[in-house]
Structure 1
Amino acid sequence: MNKVVVLGATGTIGQVIVRDLVESGVKVIAADLDTKRLEELKTKTNHQIEITPLNITDQERTKEVLLQGKVCVNATNYIFNIEVMKAAAAVGISVLDLGGLFKLTNEQLKLDEEMKAANILSIVGMGSDPGTSNIFSRYGVEMLDSAEEIHIRFGSTTSGSTFSFAVDTIIDEAIKNAMVVKNGVLTEIPPLSDEELTVFHEDIGVQKTYSIIHSELATLPISFPEVKNITYKDSWDPATIEKIKTLNALGLLETEPIEIAGKSILPRRQTVSLLQNVLAAKEKPQWGKDVLLVEVKGLKNGNKASVKLEMLTDYQPHWDVSATQYGTAIPASIVAQMILNGEVTKKGVKPAEQCIDPKTFLSYLKDKNVEVNITYSETKKDIAVFA
């Protein structure tokens, strides 16, 4: 059955995945706990999708839903990634998610043999970053004779939105230690450290970027062990940093339970729930552009060389979604279609750089509302001539 099941279909990213799949001629089953928003999504897609209510924590019901499709796109909170993988393995459906924020990604990779035994593929992290960033990294590595550095950067001109995607993920990125590869060693560093000025595409300009925890650092060092320096940095609105620091200082992001009026409460869960509901009503998609920049440095023909790839996304007025939502959702939709079309054949648990052909992926991407620029530079050695 050539259908794609999208879990978390009414979320900020899930709904865009659904709409792009439908526009691409793919049959979609949209599953979510919020039945009202499912009905709204069905209306937005001119009733071209099947919808089904689903509590992702109900494993048996999740299996029933997954049985109806050939590919599953898991757009739920990353804490459910392993549960979804196990359900997918039980019914024999390939699955991809939007990332596990490094530590969970490492746990997902341990399920490789289980996924192979089920004869399915599970792709860990297939959005903009991780996902496109991983594929761009592979493209750059393959362009060079030897790669020495991979640097991933994300910039944005979008303003007015404190949490442009999953609240939980943004909070973790701001308060958990980041990871980098320095001189061949995977190293833990403080969150939002190693601040630098990054020169992006002219539409974005120069922005401050900071190291944050990210899934690419869980897989790129394994896929490309010869690369001695790998970094990921994101641009952050200083106001957002201060808001998260304040919440953390007040203890509102604690994960240990406290007792209030005889009830056990998780401060982090209550804070995230409030933010999600308040911001959903208050904050609307904003105008502005995003850019994903991947630069791979190394040697070509014995000379120092660099391959730079940039993907620019913009606010999408026809769907009223932000550049971040669009840029994250489209790669997931593309890879789901590639699996349906038999263009991805590996089995087991794989990051995008190990199972997605960059050129095929780019051929799909050119038909979307994004701009991709690839720049190659090579510094040739000076040849001294003596008379």
Structure 2
Amino acid sequence: MAKAVVLGGCGAVGTVASKTLAGQDLFSQVILADQNRERAESLIGEWGSDKVGFVQTDALDPESIKAAIQGADVVVNCVGPFYKSVKIILDAVLESGINYVDVCDDVDVTLDILDWDQKAKDAGVSACIGMGSSPGATNLLARFAADALLDEVESIDIFHAHGGEPFEGPGVIGHRFHCMSIDIPMFLDGELKYVKYFEEDGVALRQTFDFPVLGGDVLLYPYPHPEQVTLPRYIKTRQVTNKGTVLPSEYYDLTRDMCRLGLSGKESLDVNGQSVVPYDFALAYIIRERERILKETRFGSQRGCCSVVVKGRKEDAYSEYRFHMASGSQALGEGTGVPAAVGAMLMVLGKITEKGVLPPEGCINPQDFLDLVGPVMKLDEKKGDSDSFSGVIVQHVDALGKVSTLDI
């Protein structure tokens, strides 16, 4: 049996990945590598598993990382924000010669670490990056449609929304600020183009989408996730877009407005003789206000949905597939943490063999993922109960616009 080390194992995503791995017979040890000893001890006590351990780790210190991952068969990196941490962590992992999975969703740093492909090959390491929900499962569903369902792919559009998680840390909110601040890639008309979130070209790409579980007319915004730059490398298509939001809308609006007003800035200001960093204030304020907003909007339990819409042609006729990964009881943690755990399982099972730094569609057979993810998530097949359903809904739209639900 194998040993897995989960960096950031006590965070919203890392907790789910760690618990999922601990529940698999493949692993004899699952180590939570995190700064938060108190939460680690609480989780270990709650899970009651003697295979779960803890190593206090500074994820920005290479020597601390190397000490934590020593003897591991696979490292799962859930430490965000990735634009800040992933290079330090991946470099330490490559120097240690250990196979690696992460859930990196920051496109700018994704492009940087893809350039480390030869470095990983030289180290004999398989590094699967962006193995969460979006990116991750989205990439594999798009690849599945392209390989198994369509003759030609015209467009791949990714839509996601979630909310109500038990807690959100500063790394999650920092990621959202980052997404709103950087140039956003969109693969349009066969070319990679960049738009700005708050400017006219980015505003023009906003749209509403109808999600199972979440409801219709959910307003979505351009997101700088890696699918737009990685999928066109493996699938011939003219368009790849990514749009999303966080629920309830009042909470997302608060985050957006604080970023627009410049409160995501990291340069300190003098306020009545005290040094205040706007970014630090914004994170604390948003985390505090989140609880009030969830209560006032009566949001209820966590829920989420990530949809992949692939349009193309089959036997020279229009054909469209819609994959909805929906849950009325799970959201960011489960949606991202479980695919990361499945990626680690595939690594240990020998299903990921190519060396280098690769996105999921570049190193994972989509069918291998689909075969594992259902049993691991223990998906609810009661599709009639739209409020609590958890699973993958697959729809086909034919040339006449007829929509049918499929079992794949």
TM range (shorter): 0.7 to 0.9
1:235 is aligned with what amino acid? T
* Alignment partner, residue 374 of structure 1: 394
1:230 is aligned with what amino acid? V
* Alignment partner, residue 4 of structure 1: 4
For the Cα contact (< 8 Å) 1:101–1:214, is it kept in 2? yes
1:214-241, CA deviations, whole angstroms, 9 ceiling, x for partnerless residues? 12123112222x2111111113444234
Deviation of residue 118 (structure 1)?
Answer: 0.5
Alpha-carbon distance change, 265 to 222 in structure 1, aligned in 2, over 3 angstroms: farther
* Alignment partner, residue 195 of structure 1: 206
For the Cα contact (< 8 Å) 2:6–2:33, is it kept in 1? yes
SS at match of 1:305: strand
* Alignment partner, residue 363 of structure 1: 371
1:153 is aligned with what amino acid? F
* Alignment partner, residue 168 of structure 1: 174
Alpha-carbon distance change, 65 to 104 in structure 1, aligned in 2, over 3 angstroms: same
1:290-322, CA deviations, whole angstroms, 9 ceiling, x for partnerless residues? 11111111111111111221111232xxxxxx4
Q: Does 1:72 align with 2:75?
A: yes
1:234-279, CA deviations, whole angstroms, 9 ceiling, x for partnerless residues? 1344423431244235532113355679997643245436655886
* Alignment partner, residue 123 of structure 2: 118
Tell me whether 230-239 or 358-367 shows the greater mean CA deviation: 230-239
For the Cα contact (< 8 Å) 1:6–1:14, is it kept in 2? yes
1:45 is aligned with what amino acid? W
Q: How does 1:210-359 map to 2 (within 5 A)?
A: 210-224=221-235, 226-236=236-246, 237-258=248-269, 266-269=277-280, 271-272=282-283, 275=286, 286-315=300-329, 322-359=330-367
Q: 5+ unaligned residues in a row in structure 2: which ranges?
A: 380-389, 401-408
SS at match of 2:267: coil
SS at match of 2:215: coil
2:209 is aligned with what amino acid? T
2:184 corresponds, among 172, 178, 185, to 178
Distance 2:100 2:285 in 1: 30
* Structure 1 segments (4+ residues) deviating >4 Å: 158-165, 257-266, 273-286
For the Cα contact (< 8 Å) 1:174–1:241, is it kept in 2? no
For the Cα contact (< 8 Å) 1:105–1:218, is it kept in 2? no
TM-score by length of 2: 0.83
Distance 1:159 1:20 in 2: 21
* Alignment partner, residue 19 of structure 1: 19
* Alignment partner, residue 89 of structure 1: 94
Q: 5+ unaligned residues in a row in structure 1: which ranges?
A: 316-321, 381-387
Distance 1:293 1:262 in 2: 49
1:60-112, CA deviations, whole angstroms, 9 ceiling, x for partnerless residues? 12112212211111011112111111111111111111114110111111111
Distance 1:273 1:83 in 2: 26
For the Cα contact (< 8 Å) 2:187–2:193, is it kept in 1? yes
Aligned residues: 373
Distance 2:292 2:94 in 1: 37
Alpha-carbon distance change, 160 to 128 in structure 1, aligned in 2, over 3 angstroms: closer
Alpha-carbon distance change, 277 to 105 in structure 1, aligned in 2, over 3 angstroms: farther
For the Cα contact (< 8 Å) 1:155–1:204, is it kept in 2? no
Question: Identity of counterpart residues, as a percentage?
Answer: 24
For the Cα contact (< 8 Å) 1:140–1:295, is it kept in 2? no
TM-score by length of 1: 0.87
For the Cα contact (< 8 Å) 2:34–2:55, is it kept in 1? yes
Tell me whether 21-30 or 242-251 shows the greater mean CA deviation: 242-251
1:227 is aligned with what amino acid? T
Distance 1:178 1:240 in 2: 22
* Alignment partner, residue 54 of structure 1: 57
1:114 is aligned with what amino acid? K
* Alignment partner, residue 150 of structure 1: 156
SS at match of 1:209: strand
For the Cα contact (< 8 Å) 1:177–1:212, is it kept in 2? no
Distance 2:223 2:309 in 1: 18
Deviation of residue 9 (structure 1)?
Answer: 0.9
* Alignment partner, residue 39 of structure 1: 41
Tell me whether 13-22 or 281-290 shows the greater mean CA deviation: 281-290
Distance 1:259 1:342 in 2: 55
For the Cα contact (< 8 Å) 1:140–1:308, is it kept in 2? no
Deviation of residue 3 (structure 1)?
Answer: 0.6
1:40-66, CA deviations, whole angstroms, 9 ceiling, x for partnerless residues? 111122143011101112211211221
